[in-house]
Amino acid sequence: MLNLAIEIENLTCDFETVRALDKLTLEVQPGIVFGFLGPNGAGKTTTIRMLLGLLQPTSGRARVLGYDTQSQAAEIRACTGALLEHHGLYEQMNAYDNLEFYGRVNRMPTSERQARIQELLTQMGLWERRAEATKKWSRGMKQKLALARVLLHRPALVLLDEPTAGLDVPSANSVRNDLEALVASEGTTVFLTTHNMAEAERLCSQIAVIKDGQLQAIGHPDELRARSGSAQLEIIGSGFIEPVLEALRARPEVMAVQAQNGHLKINLSAQADSAELVSLLVSQGAKVREARHQSASLEEVFLTLVEETR
Amino acid sequence: MIADIKAIIWKDSKLLLRRGDNRMRTLFTLLTPIVLFGVVFPIQFRDEWIFTGWSIVIAIITPFMLISMAIPESFAGERERHTLETLLASRLPDRTIFFGKLLNAMVFGYGMTLVLLFTSLVVYNLVEWTGQIQIFEAKILLADISVGLLMSGMVASLGILISLRASTVQSAQQTLMAVLLLPLLLIQVAGFLLPRETVREILRNIDFLKTLYIFASVLLAANAGFLLIGLKRFTRSKLCLE
């Protein structure tokens, strides 16, 4: 059993004058879905290309499934599956032939290949349409087929670069369900880049946030939320007039205040005592019907992390 | 390696036959040389077709026409369709991808050359039946087979070299055509500039066998050169970034 599925150490990549990755260091445990988040141009795709040995680092090193990305790239590509920026399907060929080709490429024996193609296409709900050229398919169907292609040879590690980007809500949800089911049944390690925080929160047990090629934070989604230290107090009531809001803003633990339609949202620093704030509101003449303490969402944590250094 | 090359050929031949979404156009492209070289020429040239080496036209023109149509698809087509990076991320070794694509174009072009030579023989024998089957003279047959192979290799290796760097199939096709037609253009310009008497003298003194040897040697050298440059230029990181 491998100790680590991915091990990246001080990985740096320069493209002429641009530094795409800057001493990136992280580890991915086997058997988990690892989310790799970052704004556009943060270095996510470059990292995936380096993990596949498609790009050489300027300095640093990375190991994937125990293989070195510079000297053992062929071994890495043999036991991983990758869904990159584009789905990579041959749209003039039918769905079955697309999988057949990559089954042959992965040297799967004929009977095993046929059975696996049927199994995956059935699971994805595409078996009945296997003889159709994929060019007429919806984007969601193509993405599902691409996912089936990635999982075809039962890779130990799957690298997915924004697999639900550009899909409508039902299609994205369907791809996520398929991914969740397949990962659960086959125990594959997944390295997933996404812009969708709900997706990351739902699928990932570990998340890393990257910006300008540098690692900003890493941990379980709950840990990241806790580490961000910020919390939100939501109060439902009335009388949230400007002098009341000014009194709140004057408090040092209050970072931001927003009132709308009887809802008051107060962003707090870590040390805030919400009971004191509720007392203050009442003393200022506001009526409080309900008060809820909420931790920051992953999206807020992400925005804080990527905007901190801006 | 052979199984991997076969996988590439299997896929590329399927794409070749579904080229441009139009099977009729593919059929027309294949039927044109069959009708022209396999039927019209042997009927028109009669005995000269079999005994004077005119059939070398098939060995030169068929690979030129068919491979220059197919080979730009090899890498420029994958790049245009956004399938190249996925292919490069697979377990296939560099040389397998390179030779798979090269051989696919060669099998297509050279295979058609052989089919056309055979078809022209059948047509000639049907038209000029003398009571026994007539075939090419041994040296003509050898010249057709070897020049066809060398021509296929040359157009395929040059085409793959251009396709490796071209951003679209169309630009690869245009560049390949320009490079292939350049020597013909130079010969034509030379023929135009030289005095007529000199041209006539050169044509009178041409030795078929000697010219063939020179032509085959040039093709062989071009094959080796283009192949070596192509292999050197095939680097995953460059292809990935382009």
B5, B16, B91, B235: best to mutate for the A interface, most A CBs within 10 A: B91
- pLDDT number for residue A270: 61
What whole-number distance in Å separates Cα of residue B38 and Cα of residue B232?
Answer: 38
Shortest CB distance from A88 goes to which of B21, B83, B236?
A: B83
- pLDDT number for residue B196: 82
Helix ranges (DSSP H) in B34-93: 41-45, 47-51, 56-70, 76-80, 84-88
- pLDDT number for residue B79: 94
Checking if the pLDDT of B22 tops 80, the result is no
- pLDDT number for residue A177: 85
- pLDDT number for residue A231: 74
Q: For chain B, what is the domain count?
A: 1
Which segment of A99-103, B41-45, B224-228 scores lowest on mean pLDDT?
A: B41-45
> pLDDT higher for A199 or B79?
B79
Structure confidence by residue, pLDDT tens digits, B107-134: 999 999 999 999 999 999 998 888 888 8
> Pseudo-torsion of CA B228, B232, B236, B239, nearest 10°?
-90
Domain with B132, as residue range(s), is: 2-241
Say whether B81 and A77 touch across the interface (CB within 8 A). Answer: no
DSSP A162: S
Say whether A90 and B237 touch across the interface (CB within 8 A). Answer: no
> pLDDT higher for A223 or B155?
B155
> Pseudo-torsion of CA A68, A72, A77, A82, nearest 10°?
30
Say whether A105 and B7 touch across the interface (CB within 8 A). Answer: yes
Shortest CB distance from A78 goes to which of B7, B91, B240?
A: B91
What whole-number distance in Å separates Cα of residue A92 and Cα of residue B180?
Answer: 29
- Indicate whether this model's pTM tops 0.90: no
What whole-number distance in Å separates Cα of residue A246 and Cα of residue A250?
Answer: 6
Per-residue tokens: B91? 């377990």
What whole-number distance in Å separates Cα of residue A136 and Cα of residue A133?
Answer: 7
Contacts of A15 in chain B (CB under 8 A): 241
Per-residue pLDDT band at B9 (split at 50, 70, 90)? very high
For A125, what's the count of Cα atoms within 13 Å in the CB-facing half-sphere? 10
Average pLDDT of the residues in B89-106? 94
For B236, what's the count of Cα atoms within 13 Å in the CB-facing half-sphere? 24
- pLDDT number for residue B28: 80
Inter-residue contact B64 to B156 (CB < 8 Å)? no
Q: Does A55 touch chain B (CB under 8 A)?
A: yes
Contacts of A88 in chain B (CB under 8 A): 82-83, 85-87
Question: B65: distance to nearest CA of chain A, Å?
Answer: 23
Inter-residue contact B37 to B120 (CB < 8 Å)? yes
Region class of B119: left (phi > 0), else alpha (psi between -120 and 50), else beta: alpha
- pLDDT number for residue A307: 72
What whole-number distance in Å separates Cα of residue B142 and Cα of residue B144?
Answer: 5
Q: Does B83 touch chain A (CB under 8 A)?
A: yes
What whole-number distance in Å separates Cα of residue A30 and Cα of residue A18?
Answer: 32
What whole-number distance in Å separates Cα of residue A299 and Cα of residue A304?
Answer: 8
What whole-number distance in Å separates Cα of residue A18 and Cα of residue A5?
Answer: 29
Say whether B85 and A74 touch across the interface (CB within 8 A). Answer: no
Per-residue tokens: A113? 């290949």
Per-residue tokens: B153? 């290799």
What whole-number distance in Å separates Cα of residue A263 and Cα of residue A258?
Answer: 8
Q: What is the ipTM of this complex?
A: 0.86
Query: Which residues face A191 on adjacent strands?
Result: A34, A159
What whole-number distance in Å separates Cα of residue A56 and Cα of residue A34?
Answer: 23
Average pLDDT of the residues in B51-56? 84
What whole-number distance in Å separates Cα of residue B22 and Cα of residue B24?
Answer: 5
Q: Does A104 touch chain B (CB under 8 A)?
A: yes
Of residues A23, A8, A6, A26, the one with CA closest to residue A58: A23
Inter-residue contact A277 to A266 (CB < 8 Å)? yes
Per-residue pLDDT band at A268 (split at 50, 70, 90)? confident
- pLDDT number for residue B199: 81
- pLDDT number for residue A54: 93
Say whether B237 and A86 touch across the interface (CB within 8 A). Answer: no
